[in-house]
Structures are given as C-alpha cells and as structure tokens.
Amino acid sequence: MKGIAETEKKKSDNNYGLGFDPIDVDPLISEHLYKLENEKIFKKTWLKVARVEEVSEIGGFKVKKLDFANTSAIIVRGKDNQIRAFHNICTHRGNKVIPEEGNETFGKAKANVMTCRFHGWVFDTDGSVRSVPKEEEFESFDKGCYGLKEINCDVWEGFVFINLDQNPSQTLREYLGGMADHFSGYKYGESTYAFTYRTVLNCNWKVALYAFTEGYHVETIHAGTLPGLAQTIVHKDFKLFGPHSTSAVYSKRREGAGIEPTPVTAKLGGMLKESPIHGPKLDELPKSINPEKSDDFQFEFPTIFPNLVKHVCAGFSYPGLSYFTHQFWPMGVGKTVWEGTNYFHKPKNAAEAVAIAHVNALHRNAWLEDTGTMEDTFEAASSGVLDRMPLMTEELMIRNTHAHWHQYVTESE
Amino acid sequence: MNILPTEFSSLSRFVEKWAKPTENLRTEQRISSSKEEFMEFYENTLPLLDGILEYLSRYPLGTLSGSDLCLYHLALSFAEMAPHAELYKGSADVPFSFEASRFVTIHGDEIDS
C-alpha cells in the first residue's frame, strides 16, 4: 500500500477509506513512539534534502544536518555531474569531513576533493579515498575499503531526496507513486529567487506538520494577515496517494490584487500579477492540478510523507509566488526544526524585487501566525488532558498522514 | 551613500532609520518600531510609491549604486513594513503570532543591491 496509488477513493467511501474517528494524541508526545518513528519512518523513507540549484556547480556541496539520525548528509555534485550523498563522517576515526555551520552548510570541493582536518584523509567527490597520509603505517590496509559511507540519493523534478536505509524497499519514484505524476512537469527550476526561514519549535514534528496541512485554520489564524483569503477560502480536490495526499485551495476572488487589496498590496501585488514572468500561469500547472482551470485557484497543497509540504502556486494566490515548501525535521519528541522557503522567478529590475519583498513579507507573517499555535498544542498534548483529537473534512490530509504513520510504526521488519 | 535621488528628497528624514541594506537589519528596525513611526513612514511614502517603482524599474538588480541603492533599501523596508500599517494597526508584532525574533532568516545578512 505504501507509495502506490490506491484505487481512487472518494469522500462517500467512508471518508476516502479513512473513517471519521478522532486521532490519538500519543504519537505526538511519546518518547517510545518517537524512537520507533525514527527507525521505521525517518531512516526508511525518502526525505527531500536539497534542490539541484543548491549544488549547481561540479564540486558544489550542501551539508544537511539530520539530528534524528545523529548524522549529516553531504550532498555533492561529482565530476561526472552526478549528485551523490554521503555521511559527513570520516571513515578513519569519525571526524566531520566538512566542518558544519548550523543546520545547513554550503561550499565547493576544490579540485573535487574533500579533506578531513583531523588527519588529512582526502576523499574524492565520488566518495572514494584519494589519499591517506602515512598510508604505509597502516598494516594490512586497503584504502579502497574506506570510501565515505554513501547514502542512497535520487532526484525528482530537481528535488534531491535521500534514503538512509542501505537497501530501500522502494525507489524514489515508486515511493512517490501517483504523487510524482500529479506534481511533475512544473518548472520548479525556473524559480530560483528564494527566501528561507527556519526556527526550532518546542513541539513534535507532527504537531507542526499537521498545523500546516489543513485549510480549516485559515479563516481564524490568518484573519490578521490574509483577511481576504480567510473570508473566501475553499479547500477541496483531495486526493490520496498511499501515505502522501494532496488538495487545493481556491478563493472566491475579489477585485484587486490577490490576497488582500490594501493599497500597497494592490500596487505591488498588482505589478507582479500583470507581469508575464511573475503573473498567474494556468498553462504551466501540471494537468491534474486545478483541473477545471479556474481563475479562483490559489495553490495546490500536498503532504509528501513524512515531512515535506510543497505548495504550487504558479503566480496565483500570493502575487508572483511560484511555489513554496515547508519541512519538519525532528530533533527530539518535543523539538523540531521547521524550514519554510518561498520561491519566486528572478526579478527583472529593482521595482519587481521590492514587490517580491512585500509578498514574501506577507507570507512570512502568515507563517508567524501558523507557528504561533504549535508550542501550545504540544504543551496541551503533553498535559494528558486530551487523549484524542476530532478532525473535520478539511483536515483529511492529517488523517491520512496519521493513519500511514501508524502503519509504518507498527509494521514489523 | 545615504542620500536619495532628488525627486524623493522629501523622504530623506526616513533614510537613517529605514534604509537598511539587509533583511536582518530591516527586521530589527521593524520589530522595534512604534505605531507613530510606522504610520509616519507609511503615510509619507505611499503617495510617492508609483514614482519610486517607476524609478527603480530602470535598474536591474546588481546595477544600483549611490542614491539609487539608498532608494532601493528604503523601498524594501517600506514593502516589508507595509502590513504593519495596513493590517496590524501599527503594531510591531504580527498579532497572535510566534515571536518574530525566533525566525532565522537564512539570507538575512546578504546585502541587497
């Protein structure tokens, strides 16, 4: 069932086959279940760790910290133009081959080698050991056996995924299943003007994920920053693809520019809406997204199991916004790194850059509204006062994620 | 250069406070501003916004310098603070939200030019 598009279920089929029961709270707070989900989900499934543009040059690398696995992944483009992933662990005595600065570290391997600063072991960007100082002093030593520990890595639509399992049960394409078909073909690579925000939330990663994967909260939580959308949102087009799910947000559009026609947003957003580069592009959406070609479309809104949310906007909704992502990385049962990135097309002049800065700020402010609930939710869950949470129809993706989470965690080896 | 192009010299008094070259510096300024500061900057700049955009539209990114760059930094600040005047009644915080200072802006120290 995992990753394979199920026969399409409808709402009338007992709520897409998921039923109507409240979900249990224990998976949000249990240390025991946190350890299990680490082993059975985060160390077994495909996780997005980069965009190809982040390692666009030969020798370019990104190091991504993976707290849940006590490791970091080096994602590096080799001389053969292949993107590979390795543990950032020297195979001699375990020092970090690339010194890290925080959560993500970027750089370029000079002459396509990476040198450990501890004893000077030199690794090629294909992972093999190039040289070991005083190699003759190691007895019965074959440096060919000490290449960097490779991590399974594959690319879909320019998104670089890794799988920490040495023998993944599915390829990335199999894992994504119908989700890949649904989202393929959008020109993600053309939207490279990006704004990323990160914070550490004192909550379980699923609390954060769930808060970002339903439309029910928009009317209330976003009444401050997105009053126009809050009053007109329609959340529909639900589709389930195994553990993944998707849906779309529409808005009964008003006069003016998109989200809320305050004077500055009308002016700056309007400028982007009218631009052939930044404006809404119905034709560029994958065919199964916004199938009725409605001008009321705002964005497509999926959960890519376990920890990625990728909204395709194509210039609808937030003026000029091409797509945006959220990701949730567990650091502990009650600690999560959240990352959100807005992707725009490059502005052709400074006026467009000002307009983009405005839209980005509005959206960042909406994220401040979203993240505002998460630590309270986790504290409440931890109190033991609630043992279950009821879900309504627009919270269907939470229901699907939660059901598949249970399936993964209870599945035997 | 902390001087605006002549046609926008009426905004010169806002330069020191608001024309900052990085998003982090602008955020720092924004989250420590008062309602009066937001409204004064907003109300005086809004009538000139069309002219500012027209002016800046002549410059691809990377080609600004001197007073043009100063205007760009002021305009970025205006674009980023406008919701506080238009939607949040002059509040420096987004109402009912997470603490803005806990958001780390990954590109926050890059100089906009």
Q: Which value does ipTM take for this structure? A: 0.98
Intra-chain end-to-end CA distance of chain B, in Å:
13
What is the Cα gyration radius of chain A?
22
Phi, psi for residue A270 in degrees, rounded to 5:
-60, -40
**Nearest residue of chain A to residue B72 (CA atoms):** A350
pLDDT tens digits, A84-132: 999 999 999 999 999 999 999 999 999 999 999 999 999 999 999 999 9
Tell me the average pLDDT across A393-402. Answer: 96
Q: Is B80 on the interface with A (CB under 8 A)?
A: yes
User: ω before B95 within 30° of 0 (cis)?
Assistant: no
A354 touches chain B (CB under 8 A): yes
User: What average pLDDT does range A139-151 have in this prediction?
Assistant: 96
Nearest to A354 among B46, B76, B98 (CB): B76
Structure tokens at A272: 């982007």
CA distance B58 to chain A (A): 7
Mean pLDDT, residues A256-272: 81
pLDDT of residue A180: 96
pLDDT tens by residue, B33-92: 999 999 999 999 999 999 999 999 999 999 999 999 999 999 999 999 999 999 999 999
Q: Is the CB of A261 inside 8 Å of chain B's CB atoms?
A: no
Would you give the DSSP letter of residue A42?
I
| List of chain A residues whose C-beta atoms are within 8 Å of the C-beta of residue B87 | 224-225, 227, 260, 262
First-last CA distance in chain A: 15
Residue with tokens 């029910």: A216
Whole-number Å distance between alpha carbons of A257 and A107:
40
CA-CA distance, A42 to A36, in Å (whole number)? 9
Answer whether A358 sits within 8 Å of B102, measured CB to CB. no
> A155-192 b/e with 16+ CB inside 10 Å = b?
ebbebbbbbbeeebebebeebbbbbbebbeebebeebe
Sheet holding A129-131, edge to edge: A113-115, A122-124, A129-131
Interface of B with A in 17-76 (CB under 8 A): 46, 49-50, 52-61, 64, 68, 72, 75-76
Contact B104 A198 (CB under 8 A): yes
**Closest by alpha carbon to A30, among A303, A387, A305?**
A387
pLDDT at B1: 61
- Partners of B97 in beta bridges: none
Please give the residue of chain B at the shortest CA–CA distance from A105.
B106
CB contact under 8 A, B106 and A196: yes
* Per-residue pLDDT at A386 exceeds 70: yes
pLDDT at res. A167: 97
Q: Alpha helices of A154-217 — where are they, by DSSP H? A: 172-176, 178-183, 205-212
Do A301 and A311 contact (CB within 8 A), yes or no? yes
| pTM of the entire predicted model | 0.95
The one-letter code for the residue type at A122 is V
Evaluate whether A351 touches B76 at the Cβ level (below 8 Å): no
Rounded Cα distance between A182 and A314, Å, is 15
Residue A309: enclosing H or E segment and its boundaries?
Answer: strand A308-312
Torsion of CA A253, A259, A261, A264, to 10 degrees: -150
Q: Which chain A residues contact residue B94 at CB under 8 A? A: 224-225, 365, 368-369
Using 50, 70 and 90 to split pLDDT, how confident is the model at A359? Answer: very high
Structure tokens at B68: 């043009």
Contacts of A267 in chain B (CB under 8 A): 49-50, 53
